[in-house]
Structure 1
Amino acid sequence: VDWEKIGIVVVHIEADFVRQIFASDHIAVQTAVSKIGTKSFHLIQRVIDTETNEIKCVCKSVMVTFDLEKHESMPLTKEWIEAICKYEERDLLRTEK
């Protein structure tokens, strides 16, 4: 990927902080792709304390592929979709009803 020409931008984010996070906490962000569209994909994330496994924050994000030269959204490539589905070990193109 030529990151000078193609980017991924955040277009929407929701975050629910359910516990305080302190500077001394050891935290990690767990991320999974929950849905893929033609130009976007949705992420679900949670911030956890790695020592206690306590959930500190739950997030939902929408990411869009972006043509940095034309300054407009662009379709996800077949290769990206296949790579994401392979990494997530499931078909994300199916929509739930």
Structure 2
Amino acid sequence: MELQKSDFKVNTPVQIRFNDIDGLGHVNNSVYSQYFDQGRMHYFNILNNNQPVDWHDARLIIASTHTDFLRPIFLDEQIEVLSKVYKLGNKSLKMFQHLADKETGEVKATCKSVMVGFDPNTNQSLQLADRWRSAIEGFEGL
């Protein structure tokens, strides 16, 4: 999926910590998923009227993620996570994210993820809550 920065309505600045850096001097690959999680949380907080989401009530969980590592990230870079939902199903949504250099726009990594409605009491999938569906449809124009 070829997307430009202008295709994303949510950008989340990332603070790179010294302990994110591995022996080769760049951000360790395992940390990228934490950055994508920060972007995902920020996205849903925006949809939730800029309030933190109560994830026990949200009834959404990650079912799948796929990350492509394109370029290394170094400690002194200014990085942001760009996030968007690009598809809604009955019980799931698909999100696409970029980790990009804030100054140059260079994409360092991409992530495709699937989130599903989930009932923690029954451990069964659920239809997406109407409030999330309508918020996403209005926000993304889906």
Match of 2:26 in 1: none
Superposition map of 1:74-89 within 5 A: 74-88=126-140
**Aligned residue for 2:117?**
65
1:40 equivalenced with 2:85 (yes/no)? no
In 2, Cα distance between the equivalents of 1:6 and 1:31? 18
Over the matched positions of the two proteins, sequence identity in percent amounts to 39
For structure 2, the 5+ residue unaligned runs are: 1-52
> Which one has the bigger strand percentage?
1
Rate the CA distance shift 1:16–1:41 in 2: closer, same or farther, 3 A: same
SS in 2 for 1:19: coil
Higher RCO, Cα 8 Å, sep 6+: 1
Q: TM-score, normalised by structure 1?
A: 0.82
How many Å apart are 1:37 and its aligned residue? 0.5
Query: As a proportion of its length, which structure holds more helix?
Result: 2
Q: Which amino acid aligns with 2:91?
A: K
Residue 38 of structure 1 and its aligned partner are, at CA, apart by 0.7
Deviation at 1:5, TM superposition (A): 4.7
Q: Does 1:24 align with 2:76?
A: yes
2:42 alignment partner in structure 1: none
Alignment CA distance shift 1:70-1:2 (3 Å): farther
Kept in 1, the 8 Å contact 2:81–2:97? The answer is yes
After superposing on structure 2, the runs of 4+ consecutive aligned residues of structure 1 that deviate more than 2 Å are 1-7
Which runs of 5 or more residues in structure 1 are unaligned? 92-97
Partner residue, 1:4:
56
* Alignment check: 8 A CA contact 1:5 1:69 kept: no
Q: Who is 1:53 aligned against?
A: 105
Q: TM-score, normalised by structure 2?
A: 0.58
Shift of 1:78: 2.4
User: Are the equivalent residues in 2 in contact too, given 1:5–1:67 (CA < 8 A)?
Assistant: no
Deviations 1:10-54 (A, max 9, x none): 111111111101122211110111100111000011000112111
